[in-house]
Amino acid sequence: MSESKFLGKQVEYPQHYAPEMLVAVPRELNRKEYNIDGSDLPFTGVDVWHAYELSFLTNKGLPVTGVLKLIYPCNNPVIVESKSLKLYLNSFNMEQYGDTPEEGIAVVSKIIKKDLSDLLKTEVKIKIFTKQQDIQLFDYNEYPLLEELPGAAEMEFDTFKESPGVLQVEKQGSFELRTATHLLRSNCKVTFQPDWGSAFIYMKGERKPDESSLLKYLVSFRNENHFHEEVCEMIYKRLWDIFQPVELAVTCVYTRRGGIDITPVRVSHEYLLPESLTNIDILSEKLLRQ
């Protein structure tokens, strides 16, 4: 399996620029299992990545560091495996680009954009941030937490494998729901190491979910072994099938691991895409554990 080329293995870090470290993983492997037709997706969306350990040298040996933000659409055939991206980005550490940091950033940005666009068979947007922005924007301020529901602490949780059967309709009739949880946990598909995250859900329709059952469902991912993008698509597909909403948006914001965080976004309509998160020129406010 291509995704296991580096995952769970001791790998020597490359000392020079190494685009051959990048590994692509087909999206269809998990989509088939959950009846998601890649040629007729029930969603649109993007994968947003932040890499916090990007660094290289100028031609004079001055280190340049920054945060790399990259965005690519969810309708391309593959994802980039995260450890391979980490190894690839680390291959820039001792390479020299440009006489000034600005010149070097321009050169490195062009290289990374081309390498990832070629690998992923789609246009990848990238930007390197070297300074903290004065105003940090966040798209999900009005999303109450499911774990803060009255009585949540008294609920019984005993299902820790993805279980759509726990989802229940609260009532019929027009509704609009914004909700979130910071209790999302799944595990790496290959190494089984835990991945911690938050889920933000917007739904509009005629079949309102019981929020207690929604919390139980999201907690049921605790022993699931999937990549972040797959978890987001599984949540979306279950909610889409069971509640048949008019509008649906699911965003999973995962905690960084290995200096990288991944935030997949899946929506029924493009106008539901979070404005700040999906804007390549904005470095959104980070969550507590991000």
* Known active-site residue 195: yes
Helix (H) / strand (E) containing 215? helix 211-219
Q: Which of 115, 139, 195, 261 is the catalytic position?
A: 195
Q: Catalogue the long-range contacts made by 57-61 (C-beta closer than 8 Å, 24 or more residues apart).
A: 57/93, 57/94, 57/95, 57/96, 57/97, 57/104, 58/96, 58/97, 58/98, 58/99, 58/100, 58/101, 58/103, 58/104, 59/96, 59/97, 59/98, 59/99, 59/104, 60/99, 61/96
Report d(CA 254, CA 9) in Å as an integer: 22
Which residues of the chain form beta strands (DSSP E)?
24-26, 44-57, 63-73, 78-80, 125-129, 169-187, 194-209, 247-254, 260-267
Q: Which of 74, 139, 188, 252 is the catalytic position?
A: 188
Burial class, 222, CB count within 10 angstroms (exposed 0-12 / middle 13-18 / buried 19+): middle
Q: Which residue has the tokens 């040629």?
A: 39
Distances (CA, A) of 210 to 151, 179, 180: 13, 12, 14
Please work out, in degrees rounded to the nearest 5, the angle formed at the alpha carbon of residue 226 by the alpha carbons of 204 and 42: 35
Q: What letter represents residue 158's amino acid? A: D
Cα end-to-end span (Å), the chain:
29
With contact defined as beta carbons under 8 Å apart, do 21 and 88 qualify? yes
With contact defined as beta carbons under 8 Å apart, do 172 and 131 qualify? no
Known catalytic residues? 188, 195
